[in-house]
Amino acid sequence: MNGLSHIDYSQYMPESQQTTSVTTEAIVSRQAQEVQAAMVIAKKFPRDVYAAFERIKKACERRLLAENAVYEYPRGGSKVSGPSIRLAEALAQNWGNIDYGIMELEQKAGESSVMAYAWDLETNTRQTKIFTVKHERKARGKITKLDDPRDIYEMVANQGARRVRACILGVIPGDIVDAAVDMCQKTLISGHKEPLEDRLRNAMTLFKKEFGVTKEMIQQYIGSNLDAFTEQDFLKIGRIYTALRDGMAKKEDYFNTKATGATKSKAEEEFKKQKEKTGHDHKAGDPANADGSDADQGELLL
């Protein structure tokens, strides 16, 4: 036998380190208990589908929700529309037994790892989306780094709300969602007390104040003058406003912002030319600049 047979290997490998802290274990245990309790309650008190649908119908009759229920933005020569974040939240609240939200998994230098989820506790149907949010804001072609915790929180919440919307719509039956959208459209058409002209005028003011979108831009997008707008056109610009407000799209996706500046410059050039021409005509008609030939001709005629 060689000398290797006398080596003791019991202490050859280092002992494993317990890296999991007591606090982390407590948090995981508490969350697991909360989920188990929620699932037990959901099974004990299952949703009444008919009552839930009636609650959704009542919610869609509210004009304020109906105005913000659908977004719309152009993409690849066509228009994409769908239920907004506000409508998805209303559906989850009235459908019942659904847990949804966002959770920041990790925050490191310059970015956060976030998970959005929606969980039907009754049917155990779950939708999750994990994504990364960079701590920066892009505006007017410039990228600004975010270091204020409040700005970072708002950025994460804004980006997470879109994913939560997709998760909620993934666990609620599609026919319920489609019916809710249709009911919101009917509410918008029949639920206004103000005349269409007043609503359009208020909408133009709101677009100009919040997004810098002028009436001319909206008229060019719709393809007609403001006086010829219909109820469907009003619904269309309402979906545009919802998409801009929720950050689903930018105003450049809808409106030709460069064309407005070009039109203004062209109008200014025409005005300058007209002004120069008028000034030249006045100068030519000045008696002080008249030549002697006119005077001589006048004498001959006399």
Q: What is the pLDDT of residue 268?
A: 53
For 8-25, what is each residue's pLDDT tens digit? Answer: 655 655 555 454 456 667
The candidate with the shortest Cα–Cα distance to 236, out of 257, 219, 252, 212, is 219
pLDDT of residue 203 exceeding 80, the answer is yes
Q: Please give the Cα distance from 79 to 63 (Å, whole number).
A: 24
The candidate with the shortest Cα–Cα distance to 251, out of 211, 279, 199, is 211
Q: Please give the Cα distance from 297 to 127 (Å, whole number).
A: 97
Q: What is the pLDDT of residue 20?
A: 47
Which SS3 state, helix, strand or coil, does residue 252 take?
Answer: helix
CA atoms within 13 A on the CB side of 228: 7
Q: What is the pLDDT of residue 274?
A: 66
Q: What is the pLDDT of residue 127?
A: 92
Stronger pLDDT, 186 or 282, i.e. the higher one = 186
Q: Please give the Cα distance from 268 to 102 (Å, whole number).
A: 51
For 128-173, what is each residue's pLDDT tens digit? Answer: 999 999 988 887 778 888 888 898 898 999 899 989 999 999 999 9
pLDDT of residue 270 exceeding 90, the answer is no
23-27, 180-184, 224-228: least confidently modelled range: 23-27
pLDDT of residue 91 exceeding 60, the answer is yes
pLDDT of residue 234 exceeding 60, the answer is yes
Q: What is the pLDDT of residue 273?
A: 63
Mean pLDDT of 36-60: 89
What is the percent of the chain where pLDDT is above 90?
A: 24
Q: What is the pLDDT of residue 27?
A: 66
Q: What is the DSSP string of 136-169?
A: EEEETTEEEE---HHHHHHHHHHHHHHHHHHHHH
Q: Please give the Cα distance from 251 to 214 (Å, whole number).
A: 11
> Chain centroid to CA 45: how far?
36
pLDDT of residue 108 exceeding 60, the answer is yes
Q: Please give the Cα distance from 90 to 56 (Å, whole number).
A: 8
Beta bridge partners of 80: 73
pLDDT of residue 263 exceeding 90, the answer is no
Handedness of CA 192, 196, 202, 208 (dihedral sign): positive
The candidate with the shortest Cα–Cα distance to 52, out of 228, 179, 188, 195, is 179
6 pLDDT band (50/70/90 cuts)?
low
Whether this model's pTM surpasses 0.85: no
Average pLDDT, the chain: 79
Stronger pLDDT, 274 or 264, i.e. the higher one = 274
Burial of 214 (0-12, 13-18, 19+ CB in 10 A): middle
Q: What is the pLDDT of residue 196?
A: 82
Provide the token pair at 205: 């003011």
What is the percent of the chain where pLDDT is above 70?
A: 75
Q: What is the pLDDT of residue 22?
A: 66
